[in-house]
A and B are shown apart, each in its own frame.
Chain A
């Protein structure tokens, strides 16, 4: 399938989980993919998976909390592939599982830096590159925790609400300049990051599953497919939206 042939996509946190699944989904549509991740090995792994299937990809070791890294990852896309069409700002970390007053400032700052500032810094460099080639599409990973909350996840929830707010503002600024910006709000998807979070919160997984109207957690591929669709021309009138992929969680 080559809906996105000649297009270039950049994914942060592309070395694992939702990011990796989305890199593979972009590549399956023939887009060239820039895999950015703090974990160089993970990113290289994603690139191998793509190349093995005949696709085109490059990895860039990137810490999204660093402006210079974000600048560099975008420069890699434009210098290697000549353009940047799509970006999926997905790099993120999970919550600690502690109530608000026990949450440490260290955890708060670290989480905000990745989940929120990282999205801001990523867009800061992606947008000019896209404006240069006449437009593009950006999807930021918010979460169902960007719409509702859950106990013992205050920093994570705050960061994901903030990402949704940031998404909406940016969307309004660039909608008539050819760049569509949206958020995806995944429900609970079993990735390594989520499993780590759950390990810190005993009983959470069972309770979470019971509360999912659909009776199961999501698959990374389901989020990936949503992101790719949002970037495609088929979503040409979708901007500033938070697309909820959560098995019915926020509907209740």
Chain B
């Protein structure tokens, strides 16, 4: 892979204020893409933009809540208006809800998790696809999860939301495979990012325990997931459509 693999391309990353989103924004920028960072966290978003700039890249921040249709429509509009094209989209914004048994999950919690993780991905696809068709094609990667492929205790609604992402990924892939848009998703395992912080705080000892669970004996880093996302967006992956790519050190193999 060269430094110019994404030169001339415009990449939109949701949830870019931290974690996997930030790592992906930096990774795409290193490859020469111009980045549109989207998030609800303004401070984190500005920091990502600065980090991209410090590395010699170009990025801008658009505050957007992916569960809001008007926010997502504006986000894509602004991108097309500013840069005239959209080549890559990493629909990554997501929230967690870990460690609560199903019967204790409230309506509000259900609505929030599904709203960001599933409806958010739907809205992003809905507005990104026409923009990409206008741009002559493109590549979309959605953040699903290992929990989008199997279940886990304490993860029922999160797992449902991520399974939905897998379903949308496959269907959108089938709909646009011959129209120049490739759609795939990544299924990260246990990755050391802030989405897990509430769970670590509520469960002392869990961090160490979960660090040992993956067959590799450690959690993954945001950068490792970002590498997989970036690869999926290169021409080397031109025959990869509708795939849920596991980045989980073998957790799913167990």
Verify whether A and B have any Cβ pair under 8 Å.
Answer: yes
Max chain A Cβ within 10 angstroms of own Cβ: one of B220, B242, B245: B242
Contact B243 A234 (CB under 8 A): no
Contact A247 B228 (CB under 8 A): no
Given the interface contacts A175-B249, A241-B245, A251-B241, does A215 sit within 8 Å of B177 by beta carbon?
Answer: yes
A218 at the interface (CB under 8 A from B): yes
Number of interface residues of A (CB under 8 A): 37
**Chain B contact patch, size range:** 35 or more
B247 at the interface (CB under 8 A from A): yes
The answer, among B1, B215, B241, for a CB contact under 8 Å with A240, is B215
With a CB–CB cut-off of 8 A, which chain A residues contact B243? 243-246, 251
Max chain B Cβ within 10 angstroms of own Cβ: one of A218, A226, A240, A251: A251
Contact B215 A238 (CB under 8 A): no
With a CB–CB cut-off of 8 A, which chain B residues contact A171? 215, 250, 253
B83 at the interface (CB under 8 A from A): no
CA distance in complex: A252, B242 (Å): 9
| Mask of B160-181 contacts with A, CB within 8 angstroms, 1/0 | 0000000001100110011000
With a CB–CB cut-off of 8 A, which chain B residues contact A167? 253
Given the interface contacts A171-B215, A213-B174, A213-B177, does A238 sit within 8 Å of B228 by beta carbon?
Answer: yes
B60 at the interface (CB under 8 A from A): no
The chain B residues found within 8 Å of chain A, CB to CB, are: 1-2, 169-170, 173-174, 177-178, 189, 214-217, 220-221, 224-225, 227-228, 231, 236-243, 245-254
- The residue on B at minimum CB distance from A25 is B236
CA distance in complex: A244, B247 (Å): 13
- The residue on B at minimum CB distance from A189 is B239
Other 10 A-B pairs with CB < 8 A, given A225-B237, A235-B228, A245-B237: A175-B215, A176-B215, A218-B239, A234-B231, A237-B224, A237-B247, A241-B250, A245-B243, A248-B241, A250-B242
CA distance in complex: A241, B216 (Å): 13
* Chain A at the B interface: SS class: mixed
The answer, among B214, B224, B239, B247, for a CB contact under 8 Å with A219, is B239
Given the interface contacts A171-B215, A172-B215, A215-B178, does A247 sit within 8 Å of B220 by beta carbon?
Answer: no
Given the interface contacts A213-B177, A250-B242, does A226 sit within 8 Å of B236 by beta carbon?
Answer: yes
Tell me the smallest distance from the CB of B116 to a CB of chain A, in Å.
Answer: 24
Contact B241 A247 (CB under 8 A): yes
Tell me the smallest distance from the CB of B229 to a CB of chain A, in Å.
Answer: 11
Can you give 11 contacting A-B residue pairs, CB < 8 Å? A3-B1, A175-B250, A213-B173, A213-B178, A219-B239, A237-B228, A239-B249, A240-B250, A240-B253, A243-B240, A245-B240
- The residue on A at minimum CB distance from B234 is A225
The 7 A-B residue pairs whose C-beta atoms are closest, nearest first, are A251-B242, A240-B253, A240-B250, A248-B241, A225-B236, A175-B215, A168-B253
Contact B241 A176 (CB under 8 A): no
Contact B250 A239 (CB under 8 A): yes
A222 at the interface (CB under 8 A from B): yes
| Mask of A38-81 contacts with B, CB within 8 angstroms, 1/0 | 00000000000000000000000000000000000000000000
Given the interface contacts A226-B236, A237-B224, A237-B249, does A176 sit within 8 Å of B217 by beta carbon?
Answer: yes
Given the interface contacts A213-B174, A241-B246, does A176 sit within 8 Å of B216 by beta carbon?
Answer: yes
The answer, among A213, A218, A240, for a CB contact under 8 Å with B252, is A240
Contact B220 A252 (CB under 8 A): no
Contact B238 A222 (CB under 8 A): yes
With a CB–CB cut-off of 8 A, which chain A residues contact B250? 168, 171-172, 175, 239-241
With a CB–CB cut-off of 8 A, which chain B residues contact A226? 236-237, 240
